[in-house]
Copies of this chain bind each other. A is one copy, B any other.
Amino acid sequence: MSTPSNARRPDPLTREVLELIGEVVARFYADYEEAAGEHTLTGPQARLLSLLSLEPLPMRKLAQKLKCEPSNVTGIVDRLESRGLVERRPDPADRRVKVAAATEQGRAVARDLREGLQFAREPLAGLSEEERRSLRDLLRRMLGT
């Protein structure tokens, strides 16, 4: 065991990539929070609304996607519903289920939110199309997609 720390201590290149990813994560998050804040939304509210802007979802599915307890989703949907951005609909097939759906206004806010993400444009704009394609492929492979 001359170099037992190799398994835990990655090489400098990997470390650097890690650090850069950390930076990306931090910027992405900050950007997202700011965009949400411009609509007086919190991060979790914005994430939930974005999900619902794609398709209505039962509370349980929402909890799964947000990786939290269903009881938590209740409160977030409550607040969005009280602002008219989301509504609860009964599921005709199962009366236990409540399907959360974005209202027209909610979808408009979600659209604004997407467009407000500066991170989407600025940093990627500096890359050529070929570089972006290359980045896409590397990220894909990294994620095992």
Cα A144 to Cα B118 with chains together (Å):
14
**Residues of A within 8 Å of B, CB-based: how many?**
42
Q: How far is the CB of A58 from chain B (nearest CB, A)?
A: 21
Any B CB within 8 A of the CB of A10: yes
Q: How far is the CB of A110 from chain B (nearest CB, A)?
A: 14
The interface-forming segment of A18-26, A71-79, A87-95, A97-105 is A18-26
Contact A142 B120 (CB under 8 A): no
Q: A13-B136, A17-B135, A29-B25 are in contact. Are A142 and B123 (CB under 8 A)?
A: yes
Q: A8-B115, A13-B132, A67-B30 are in contact. Are A18 and B141 (CB under 8 A)?
A: no
Q: How far is the CB of A51 from chain B (nearest CB, A)?
A: 12
Q: How far is the CB of A24 from chain B (nearest CB, A)?
A: 6
Contact A124 B14 (CB under 8 A): yes
Contact A138 B141 (CB under 8 A): no
Cα A115 to Cα B5 with chains together (Å):
10
Q: A13-B132, A14-B120, A132-B14 are in contact. Are A24 and B126 (CB under 8 A)?
A: no
